Every structure is written in C-alpha cells, then in structure tokens.
Amino acid sequence: MIQLINVNTDQMIADDVKSAYTFMSRFKGLMMKKSIAENAGLHISPCSSIHTFFMKFSIDIIYLNQNNEIVGIEESLEPGKIGKRFADAKSVIELPAGTHKRTSTVIGQKVALQD
C-alpha cells in the first residue's frame, strides 16, 4: 500500500494510493469505477493532464513536477471534463473530491509516495 504524505506539513493525504505506470493502467485510470474511498488515490505517471470521461464522480487532482512538488491543483473536477495542463507536470494524483480542502494542500508544497 502506498501512502501520500505532504512533506511540508507531515500530513497524510491518502493512505491507499494505487499506481498507474503502464499504458493500460494509465488509460483505464478511474474510468467506470463507481466511487473512490476517502483515503484512496491514483498516481498516474508519466502524465501531464487528465480527463474524467466515463467517470461517475468528481475528483481532486494534484499535478506534480519531477521532484514531486505540487505545480497545480484542481478541485472537484466533474465527470466528462478535461483537466488543466501544467507545463511542469510530470505526474498526477487523482483523489476524492474534497481532499484538497480537507488537507489544506497548496501549490509549492512537496509530497512523498511511500510504501
């Protein structure tokens, strides 16, 4: 199980993060899932932008650069939408809607993905 931790605040953002590092797992992402648990997430790499086509729920997205610093955040992106594009983004983490506000995560902070 991978944990997502905010290095700046030492706060656990999610403790059940799955990885999507192959073409097929990145392609599938969270499509067709009914929901995502409050403590869960999906780390997609490499990835600089996402979409929510064929999804059934809204998500928060954290965009990370190559040093795992947050370069962009989107809150409650609804199904059927295209996410923003951030030039420095190398990977993204998809989280349940509301995670950003609940954890007070902000651009410029650094995260760690730990086993």
**11-64: pLDDT as tens digits:** 999 999 999 999 989 988 888 788 999 999 999 999 999 999 999 999 999 999
- For residue 96, say if its preceding peptide bond is cis, omega within 30 degrees of 0: no
Cα 86 from Cα 52, distance rounded (Å): 17
**3-class secondary-structure state, position 103:** helix
What pTM value is reported for the model?
0.94
Cα 26 from Cα 50, distance rounded (Å): 10
Residue 56 in tokens = 């059934």
Report the percent of the chain where pLDDT is more than 70. Answer: 100
